[in-house]
């Protein structure tokens, strides 16, 4: 697929090609599988489950061995949001919070495992494999993952 906007900057053209791997969702549950410009498998999944007591959302993107995951559980009595970056099967960084009706159970957003610095190193490696700068790589991701450069709670 050709990028929507052609420029003389090759990095933009490449990030546009990567962006094309992640079309915009059209329903409450959406999954798309494809290949990145460098030939790595890509998967993009979002889902929303809503009933009278909660409104849970999740979004996950995979590019080769990199997995970005965002879980947002919004229950009536308890809510939790979790951001996870994994690479080659290992959690690199995980941030989470907790919110409850009883505020004594609240936990502010914070890094619970790994480090935000390690995420940047992984992003550099994966972006280089796609022949992109880290910023162009992140810009090519679905907007659900704009948090990856600044891990929440770090």
Q: What string of DSSP letters covers 96-150? A: EEEEESSGGG-EEEEEEEE-HHHHHHHHHHHHHHTT--HHHHHHHS-GGGGGGGS
E runs forming strands in 53-106: 55-63, 66-74, 78-87, 90-100
Confidence category of residue 25, pLDDT binned at 50, 70, 90 = low
Instruction: Domain ranges for the chain, please list them.
Output: 10-149
Question: What is d(CA 75, CA 49) in angstroms, rounded to the nearest whole number?
Answer: 11
**What is the C-alpha to C-alpha distance for residues 43 and 145, in angstroms, rounded to an integer?**
13
Q: What's the predicted TM-score (pTM) here?
A: 0.79
Element (H, E) at 49: strand 41-50
Per-residue model confidence (pLDDT) at position 13: 55
For residue range 31-58, list pLDDT tens digits in order: 999 999 999 999 999 998 877 777 889 9
| Mean pLDDT estimate for the chain | 85
Q: What is the mean pLDDT of residues 73-99?
A: 94
- pLDDT value of position 50: 79
Confidence band, pLDDT 50/70/90 cuts, at residue 133: very high
């Amino acid at each position: 697929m050709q990028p929507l906007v052609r420029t003389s900057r090759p990095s933009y053209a490449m990030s546009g090609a990567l962006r094309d791997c992640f079309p915009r969702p059209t329903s409450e549950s959406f999954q798309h599988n494809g290949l990145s410009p460098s030939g790595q498998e890509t998967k993009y999944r979002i889902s929303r489950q809503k009933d009278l007591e909660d409104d849970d959302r999740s979004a996950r993107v995979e590019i080769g061995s990199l997995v970005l995951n965002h879980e947002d559980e919004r229950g009536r009595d308890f809510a939790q949001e979790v951001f996870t970056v994994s690479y080659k099967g290992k959690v690199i960084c995980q941030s989470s919070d907790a919110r409850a009706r009883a505020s004594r159970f609240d936990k502010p957003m914070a890094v619970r495992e790994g480090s935000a610095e390690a995420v940047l190193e992984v992003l550099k490696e994966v972006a280089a494999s796609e022949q992109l700068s880290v910023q162009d790589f992140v810009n090519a991701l679905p907007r659900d993952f704009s948090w990856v450069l600044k891990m929440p709670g770090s």
